[in-house]
């Protein structure tokens, strides 16, 4: 059988392990990834429909329908934004769709994916989905990339690989000898490797050829090979089948090809010696991938590590003997080593303590560390806001050019509401929980888009910040021109500090991503993307937490009509103090080290 790299259009990426052995991952193709995505989206929509029907069925039995609907909104948001992040993090880079298709997401270097890397690649999915939701950008990126990376994979430093078990033809040297008995003595071969590969292809595919073409090929090969084994008799096909069986059996028992000399002759002996051990490891690996190493006993893990080390040694010897040729045994053994490597060299399990330290130490520290990009994002938001505020206050007619008509009409109605001492909008009343959840999920989604826009060299982030700033300032200008600015200030004050801070923090994350492309520094753009993407996702975690609180305040506190402006400004001041305390929450604190288990696992 010829090398897979020659016979197929598959892409491969080489990974060097800490044992200084190089193996190859098979890059997942566009078709298999699309099929996996269809399965996952079907599951998402199925879950959404199930939740919807469940909500309808319980609506009449639940005392508080608004609370039930609010929870439903949050769950739907979690499904469509958290499905991939959660499952890839918990299932070691797999979702149900990927598992069904034998795909897995791993980090560059073959390491197991982290929650942070999964979050980055799946938030940038918003850009990969464009235009609309046809994934044109993502498909184009994957096609142009030698590693099949979409933009989210570049930002996260990940690749999608195919892990389905390798099927090796009966002629491959990794299978045990067939039932036919060989004469006593040293097994011998009469064909070169290239000749054997040609014969093997014919034997494996002869049943798919029509009778006429099969006869032509058989005659041509029989003429070429008959003199190698003059003792063979019979028709052309019978001679070729017998010759193929002899060659297959001899190579499985360690015989070298006729053209092999020096180290190349050792490859068959290595295969014959290790074939049984490799099959045993393949069985153990399949179980470990299905159950996880965490479910195995210490003795089982130690045995797995010992077998993995044996295989890395076998692979190193086999690669030396193969002298750079992509033979099936190297390909097969590389798949086994890749599977073992992915299980052993992974991050330690994320505990509640690690998650808490991430949110209360690493996130605040990153917000301070990223003061420059956050400051630039603030300028891009508040600068256009100030300009549009002044422009609309001077000439309200310009507002119709960039402010939604509904907002213009609300500003006009605000005059009457102010005269009757009503709030900026009607109080949500019993529906405050639903309003809070809707506002919360909408704002979080906006910040995700602001962040994802950084992968487009920052253009998406800049556009989102500037357009939001212009609308914010324009609305303020309308209310000021109408003499009712306190009306909207009273509404915005309770949640505005946290909400606007969250937008600028998310914008800082998007600009961090953009800086990796525009100003990578002394490293490559790909390396800069991974490092700054890891920093940026901490900013997104921080902005999400702030928006959860801001959305709650906007739904429950901001619309209250009987609270005075001073009372709401007091809430605003308290949120500003709380934000300052949060940003400095990590002072003097350390973080529990959470690295890969690369050094710990093999030492078991």
pLDDT in tens, 400-428: 888 888 778 777 887 777 777 776 677 66
Residue 4, pLDDT > 80, answer no
pLDDT at 519: 92
pLDDT at 65: 73
pLDDT at 2: 35
Q: Where are the beta strands (DSSP E) in 288-346?
A: none
The residue-averaged pLDDT of 113-142 equals 87
Highest mean pLDDT: which range of 158-172, 182-196, 476-490, 570-584: 570-584
Highest mean pLDDT: which range of 23-32, 488-497, 504-513: 504-513
> Between 167 and 198, where is the model more confident?
198
pLDDT in tens, 218-264: 888 877 777 777 666 667 777 778 877 777 777 655 555 555 544 45
For residue 445, what are its two tokens? 């989604």
The residue-averaged pLDDT of 128-145 equals 86
Residue 267, pLDDT > 70, answer no
Please classify residue 387 by burial: count the beta carbons closer than 10 Å to its beta carbon, then call 0-12 exposed, 13-18 middle and 19+ buried.
Answer: middle
Least confident of 161-175, 189-203, 507-521: 161-175
pLDDT at 18: 65
Least confident of 216-220, 270-274, 276-280, 599-603: 599-603
C-beta separation of 52 from 72 below 8 A: yes
pLDDT at 169: 39
pLDDT at 99: 87
CA 259, CA 263: separation in Å to the nearest integer?
Answer: 12
Residue 77, pLDDT > 70, answer yes
The residue-averaged pLDDT of 560-570 equals 89
pLDDT above 90 as % of the chain: 27
pLDDT at 8: 46
Least confident of 1-10, 290-299, 351-360, 584-593: 1-10
Question: What residues contact 439, with CB distance under 8 A and at least 6 apart?
Answer: 551, 554, 555
> Between 431 and 240, where is the model more confident?
240
pTM (predicted TM-score): 0.74
Residue 501, pLDDT > 80, answer yes
User: What count of other Cβ atoms lies within 10 Å of the Cβ of residue 409?
Assistant: 10
Band of pLDDT at residue 175, cut at 50, 70 and 90: very low
Which of 447, 446, 454, 425 lies closest to 555 in space, CA to CA?
A: 425
Least confident of 47-51, 189-193, 482-486: 189-193
The residue-averaged pLDDT of 324-346 equals 72
pLDDT in tens, 363-396: 999 999 999 999 999 999 999 999 999 999 999 8
Q: What's the first-to-final CA gap in the chain, in angstroms?
A: 38
C-beta separation of 346 from 111 below 8 A: yes
CA 138, CA 127: separation in Å to the nearest integer?
Answer: 8
pLDDT at 346: 67
Which of 354, 369, 283 lies closest to 116 in space, CA to CA?
A: 354
Band of pLDDT at residue 47, cut at 50, 70 and 90: very high
pLDDT at 90: 82
pLDDT at 166: 45
The 3-class SS string of 491-535 reads HHHHHHHHHHHHHHHHHHHHHHHHHHHHCCCCCCHHHHHHHHHHH
Question: What residues contact 507, with CB distance under 8 A and at least 6 apart?
Answer: 373, 374, 376, 377, 378, 380, 381, 450, 451, 461, 464, 465
The residue-averaged pLDDT of 71-90 equals 88
């Amino acid at each position: 059988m010829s090398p897979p790299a020659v016979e197929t259009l598959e892409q491969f990426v080489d990974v060097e392990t800490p044992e200084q052995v190089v193996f190859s991952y098979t890059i997942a193709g566009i078709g298999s990834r699309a099929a996996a995505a269809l399965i996952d989206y079907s599951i998402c929509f199925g879950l959404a429909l199930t939740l919807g029907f469940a909500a309808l069925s319980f609506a009449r039995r639940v005392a508080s329908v608004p609370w039930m609907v609010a929870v439903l909104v949050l769950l739907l948001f979690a499904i469509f934004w958290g499905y991939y992040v959660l499952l890839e993090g918990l299932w070691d880079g797999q979702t149900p769709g990927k598992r069904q298709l034998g795909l897995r997401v791993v980090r560059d270097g073959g390491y197991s994916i982290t929650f942070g890397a999964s979050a980055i690649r799946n938030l940038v999915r918003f850009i990969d989905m464009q235009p609309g939701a046809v994934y044109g950008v993502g498909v184009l990126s994957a096609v142009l990339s030698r590693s099949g990376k979409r933009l989210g994979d570049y930002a996260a430093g990940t690749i999608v690989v195919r892990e389905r078990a390798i099927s090796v033809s009966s002629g491959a040297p990794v299978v045990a000898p067939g039932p036919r008995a060989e004469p006593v003595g040293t097994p011998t071969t009469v064909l070169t490797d290239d000749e054997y590969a040609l014969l093997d292809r014919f034997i494996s595919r002869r049943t798919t050829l029509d009778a006429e073409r099969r006869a032509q090929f058989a005659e041509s090969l029989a003429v070429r090979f008959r003199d190698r084994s003059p003792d063979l008799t019979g028709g052309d096909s019978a001679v070729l089948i017998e010759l193929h069986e002899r060659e297959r059996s001899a190579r499985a028992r360690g015989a070298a090809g006729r053209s092999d000399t020096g180290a190349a002759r050792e490859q068959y002996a290595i295969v014959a010696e290790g074939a049984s051990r490799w099959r045993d490891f393949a069985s153990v690996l399949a179980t470990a991938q299905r159950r996880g190493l965490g479910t195995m006993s210490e003795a089982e893990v130690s045995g797995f590590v010992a077998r993995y080390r044996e295989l890395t040694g076998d692979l190193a010897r086999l690669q030396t003997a193969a002298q750079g040729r992509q033979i099936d045994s190297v390909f097969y053994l590389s798949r086994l080593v890749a599977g073992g490597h992915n299980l052993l060299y992974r991050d330690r399990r994320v505990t509640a303590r690690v998650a808490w330290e991430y949110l209360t130490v690493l996130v605040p520290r990153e917000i301070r560390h990223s003061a420059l990009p956050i400051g630039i994002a603030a300028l891009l938001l508040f600068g256009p806001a100030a300009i549009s505020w002044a422009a609309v206050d001077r000439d309200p007619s310009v507002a119709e050019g960039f402010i939604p008509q509904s907002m213009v009409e609300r500003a006009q109605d605000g005059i009457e509401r102010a005269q009757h001492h009503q709030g900026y909008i009607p109080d949500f009343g019993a529906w405050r929980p639903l309003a809070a959840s809707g506002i919360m999920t909408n704002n979080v989604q906006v910040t995700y888009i602001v962040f994802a826009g950084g992968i487009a060299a920052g253009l998406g982030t800049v556009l989102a910040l500037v357009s939001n700033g212009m609308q914010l300032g324009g609305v303020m200008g309308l209310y000021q021109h109408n003499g009712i600015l306190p009306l909207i200030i009273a509404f915005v004050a309770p949640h505005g500090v946290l909400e606007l801070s969250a937008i600028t923090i998310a914008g800082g994350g998007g600009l961090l991503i953009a800086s990796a492309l525009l100003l990578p520094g002394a490293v490559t753009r790909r390396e800069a993307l991974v490092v700054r993407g890891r920093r940026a996702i901490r900013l997104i975690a921080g902005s999400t937490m702030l928006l959860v609180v801001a959305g709650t305040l906007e739904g429950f506190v901001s619309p209250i009509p009987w609270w005075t402006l001073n009372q709401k400004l007091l809430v605003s001041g308290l949120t500003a103090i709380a934000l300052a305390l949060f940003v400095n929450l990590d002072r003097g604190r350390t973080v529990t080290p959470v690295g890969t288990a690369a050094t710990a696992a093999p030492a078991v």
